[in-house]
Structure 1
Amino acid sequence: MRRLVPALLALLSVPALTTPASAAEAEFEVVTARGEFGSSAPTYEPDLVPVGAKASVFSLSAPEFGTGVTLVVRGLLPNREYGAHAHTKPCGPDGAAAGPHYQKRVDPVSPSVDPAYANPSNEIWLDFTTDRFGTGFSTTRVPWQFDADRRAGSVVVHETHTHTHPGHAGTAGARLACLSVAF
């Protein structure tokens, strides 16, 4: 948790946000979401994402900055690697309801496993490892903002860290849980 505060402060101290050169650059968007798995957010694998575990997402977006996203979780299994990504749709009754990963430049082939599209610069990747208490967090920043008419709708927690090699790029195992986020 000691690393979380500096990560959030880094997101908030970006020069483009604190000293805008023009009124257009001063426009930024903050999005937050939080949920409890098994209550306000679905868990599809309670053995890996227990009922009662919690997640929060904080997103900051500005034209000269791009988009920064932080995911914080607690109550998950201790000392375990998880993957997490922004997906195109809100959560639903099963993991597939959230749709594919949100991609700024959409792969014409689905499912996307080409590293030219399935990569941390074209998608929002939030892989994390929990500590001995089951708490984890991840922060990422991409050089783009969501399109006004095409936005992500959730963050899905996956079974493993995200793969990067051709034919498997962007894959991270089963969809374990989901938090709807109105990016």
Structure 2
Amino acid sequence: MTFKPLPALVLVLLAAGCAQQEAHSTPSPSAQSGVRISGAGELVVYDRALAPAGAQASATVDSTADGTLSSLNVEGFLPNRIYGAHLHTNACGAKPDDAGPHFQHDHGQVSKDSEVWLDVKTDAEGAGSASARHGWALTPGHAPKSLVVHAQATKADGTAGPRVACLSLE
């Protein structure tokens, strides 16, 4: 029996079928198990002296079985200043306390290992960024709902002064 090469059109159709099948395949279990929450834009502002009109932020929290990476970018804040920033349990509201307490991975443990502290130092234009990595994973039922910017850098006891602004996360 002699092998005859397949016509080019048959090869193209076979390749297209394989590509289509690959595009519709189910993601791997690790890709399905991740949690991503984020928010961006203008903030709910509680103190215009520390978060002037036009102050904005974006925050993203990506969590997989391998851990959680949280990142924050701000602009339009006061220049050359350190702000504390933490993830909180509730969405933003009209009053500063509406965002609830700091989100804690280990309930009752106040530390940078259990909470997400994203202190940010602004540059001469009032922009800055911060990130934090943790070895634990979020679950859809146990995830923060907001990011709160505080008036001061975070101290060892987790306090960072009054709440300046809030960004809801979804």
TM-score surpassing 0.5?
yes
- The corresponding residue for 2:51 is 49
Shift of 1:145: 1.8
- The corresponding residue for 2:37 is 31
**TM-score with structure 1 length normalisation?**
0.74
Q: Render the CA deviation track for 1:11-56: whole Å, top value 9, x for unaligned.
A: xxxxxxxxxxxx33333333331021xxxx2100000011211100
Shift of 1:148: 2.8
Unaligned 5+ segments in structure 2 are 1-27
- The corresponding residue for 2:71 is 70
Unaligned 5+ segments in structure 1 are 1-22, 108-116
Identity of aligned residues (%): 40
Aligned equivalents of 1:141, 1:80: Cα separation in 2: 23
What is the SS of the residue equivalent to 1:157?
strand
**TM-score with structure 2 length normalisation?**
0.80
- The corresponding residue for 1:18 is none
- The corresponding residue for 1:147 is 139
Rg bigger for which structure? 2
- Total equivalences in the alignment: 143
* Structure 1 vs Structure 2 CA RMSD: 1.4
- The corresponding residue for 1:181 is 169
Aligned pairs for 1:127-166 (under 5 A) are 127-164=119-156
Aligned equivalents of 2:35, 2:97: Cα separation in 1: 28
Q: 1:160 to 1:55 in 2, by over 3 A?
A: same
- The corresponding residue for 1:6 is none
Shift of 1:144: 1.2
What is the SS of the residue equivalent to 1:26?
helix
